[in-house]
Each structure stands twice: as structure tokens, then as C-alpha cells.
Amino acid sequence: MDTFEITPAQARERQRRGALLIDIRQAHERVSGQAEGALAIERAALEAEPARHLPGADAEILLICQLGQRSLLAAQALRAAGYGRVLSVSGGTSRWAGDGLPLVRPALEADQADFLERYSRHLRLPQVGMEGQRRLERSRVLLVGAGGLGSPAAFYLAAAGVGHLRLVDDDVVERSNLQRQILHTEASIGAPKVDSARERLAALNPRVQVDTVAERVTSANVDALLDGMDVVMDGSDNFPLRYLLNDACVKLAKPLVYGAVQRFEGQVSVFDAGRQRGICPCYRCLFPEPPPPQFAPNCSDAGVLGLLPGIVGLLQANEVVKLLLDIGQPLAGRLLRFDALAMHFRETGLAPDPDCPLCAPGRPFPGYIDYVRFCAAG
């Protein structure tokens, strides 16, 4: 055994004799329990200012973390700083509990305890952490469609802690939906999809505010629906609505997370031309004109593998979270295609169209059009 380490039983005995036991984990890690009598001081703070937290260089200090690795490194750092009687508890809090030694839960307000425990796995990610999780909690996302794509996306965005979800869908639940629209159950048949969705999401994460709108998205209400939203996710299944959402997002400078499925194939992209004119394309750059209806039947006509919307919807949710946290590389300027039968992903680069009638730099917004007629003419 490393001379810097002692067992939990030895640490407990030394603690009884006056040694100072310090839990160096972060607050969210201590919610599930910490060694009885341990003082909570995060590792970074302890190493940065040991004199502020420790009684003296000759005091016996015992450090404990979750598994014993961080506490060992901290003990070595403090020894190097002149604190000669610092030891690490081998196996950390996990072994402490496994050996039957007493644990206590820190005294926290109920809301804080819920936040730290619910999102503990996010809080351990340096790309998220406390600041990122609070940012998600302040975020507002518009999900258009509570069907095949919207169902998995809404579930995971709510679970991730996105604080405000606005769900828009004017349809009711049918039995044929249940093969892929996992927000809904047999008991929901005949109910508005947004009501069914709100009930399921509230049961999953009551911290999330779910604002439901049982209306069809139109040129008359789209601006109001996008008002105050940080990201728009397109879970629609028809071309008129896709073009409308694209145009509104360009006009109002909102990032649009696009997804589509058919039979065994799906695709995902991010259209961010509203915020990055001339750099990122919009949906019209990819599809200047809608394909003829016979080449793009909807799911009710062509069919769809029930698992496919789940995969594509989760890819969309992943893009939403990246945009909200400003991490990673969003799919802006890239179209990701997925073939479920071949289990194959293919990425295609998308460039902005310099002559795009909607998003070309310097071009004023031309106004909303009759999208149904536009798509029928295609």
C-alpha cells in the first residue's frame, strides 16, 4: 500500500483520535452521502489555499474522495506544499460505505438537493458542470411536433434539464402513433398530443416547465411561437411546415435543428443562417424547391421503421443541447444521413447558396408565402 494511503477503518480510528477528515469532492457528489464527521472542502479550493482551510502544517489531515484517486493526488500535492501528515483514504467514500462505516447526507434545501442529485452525471462533465447545467435550466426550446421525432427529443431534453419546453402540435393521439411516438400511451388515445406529452414529461422531470400549444403552426402565429426561444427543433412531417419554420428562423435569427425520416432512412442538420448569414446555409439552400409529392411521401403513406424516429430524434436533441451549451461542433453546414438497414452514417457538406432568395447576405426578408401552394407546385 502507498505510504500516503490508509484504509477507511484506519481513517475512522484516527478521526476519533482527533485527525481532521476532509471530503474533497464537489457538492453534487456529496448529496448521496459523505463520511460521518468529514469537513466538505473541494479539492481545488484546498490545494489553492491550504493555509486557509487547514489548522497547521503539523496537523494530521485525512482526505477522502469517491474512489481514492483524487484524494491521493491531493495528499501528494499538500505534502509537497509542506503539510507532512496528510493521508488519503484508500477506496474513498465508496469503500467507506462498503465497509459499513457511517454516512451522513449534507443539509441542503430540497430544491438544491434535487438539482445536485438529478443532474449529478452532467455536473461531473467539465463541458457542462454547474454553470452549464444552470444554463440549460434557463434555456427555452420550441419543439414543433409531439410525434415520432418530438417524442424522444422531448423526453431527453426534459431529462437533461432544459428549463422551458414549448411543445406545438394540433393533432390527437391515434393507436397507429404508438409504434414510434413514445410520449404517448394506450390511455392517451383520442387526447391532444400536447396534453399527453405534458403529463409524461412532468412525471419525468417536474423541474421543467412545459408550455403546450394545441394549434397548427401558420404564418400568422409562427413569430409569436418563436418569441423568446433559444433553439427551434423541427419535428414536423410535411414540407410546408419545414419551409415556414426555416423562413421564420432566418427572419428571427434562431438556430433550427432539422430532422426527417422515411421508411428506413433519416437525416439531421442544423440551419443557422439567421445568425450566420453567408456562413451557414438555410433549409432553402438544401432544397430550393420541394420535391414532387410522389418522391417524398409522408410516413402514413410510405411507412417508417418505428425505431428510426427515435434515433433521429435523439440526434436532434443532441444538437439542441450542444447549441444551448455552445459546445462541440453542431451540424451547421453538414447533413447527416442514416441508413438503419445498412447501419451506415454518411455526412455531406452543405454550403450556403449566395443567391438564396431568403438568406443571402444583405437580402431583406421577403415575407411569408402560401407554403401549401408552394409545395404543391413543386
Q: How confident is the model over 168-182, as pLDDT tens digits?
A: 999 999 999 999 999
The dihedral region occupied by 265, where left means phi > 0, alpha psi between -120 and 50, and beta the remainder, is beta
pLDDT in tens, 197-206: 999 999 999 9
Q: What is the pLDDT of residue 105?
A: 86
Where are the domain boundaries for CATH 3.40.50.720 in the chain? Answer: 121-377
Element (H, E) at 267: strand 265-271
Mean pLDDT of 140-166: 97
CA–CA separation, 274 and 282 (whole Å): 8
Q: Give pTM, 2 decimals.
A: 0.84
How far is 328 from 125, CA to CA, in rounded Å? Answer: 13
Please count the CA atoms within 13 angstroms of the CA of 126 that sit on its side-chain side.
0
> Would the pLDDT of 295 be above 60?
no
Query: Does pLDDT of 131 surpass 80?
Result: yes
Please give the pLDDT value at position 109. 81
Q: Where are the alpha helices (DSSP H) in 99-233?
A: 110-118, 120-123, 129-138, 150-160, 193-204, 222-226
- Which residues are known to be catalytic? 299
Give me the pLDDT at residue 49, please.
94
Name every residue whose Cβ is closer than 8 Å to that of residue 4 and which is 6 or more positions away in sequence: 72, 75, 76, 79, 86, 87, 88
Which pLDDT tens digit goes with each residue over 216-250?
999 999 999 999 999 999 999 899 999 999 999 99
Quick one: pLDDT band at residue 299, thresholds 50, 70, 90?
A: low
Instruction: Kindly report, as residue ranges, where domains of CATH 3.40.250.10 are found in the chain.
Output: 5-109
Predicted pLDDT of residue 28:
86
Query: Looking at the domain covering 121-377, what would its CATH class be?
Result: alpha beta
CB 148 within 8 A of CB 313: yes
Write down the pLDDT at residue 297.
60
Predicted local confidence at residue 301, as pLDDT: 67
Q: What is the fold of 5-109?
A: Oxidized Rhodanese; domain 1 (3.40.250)
Find where cell 423562413 sits: 247
Residue 1 binned pLDDT confidence (cut-offs 50, 70, 90): very low
Residue among 208, 203, 30 at smallest CA distance from 120: 30
Q: Average pLDDT in the 269-290 region?
A: 95
Please say if the pLDDT value at position 294 is more than 60: no
* Residue 32 clears pLDDT 90, i.e. is over it: no
Residue 9 has pLDDT above 60, yes or no: yes
Q: Which residues pair with 166 in a beta bridge?
A: 142, 211
Residue 3: per-residue pLDDT: 76
Please, what is the average pLDDT of the chain? 94
Residue 107 is predicted with a pLDDT of 76
Residue 214 has pLDDT above 70, yes or no: yes
Residue 290: pLDDT band (50, 70, 90) is: confident
Instruction: Return the pLDDT at 17.
Output: 95
What is the pLDDT averaged over residues 46-56? 94
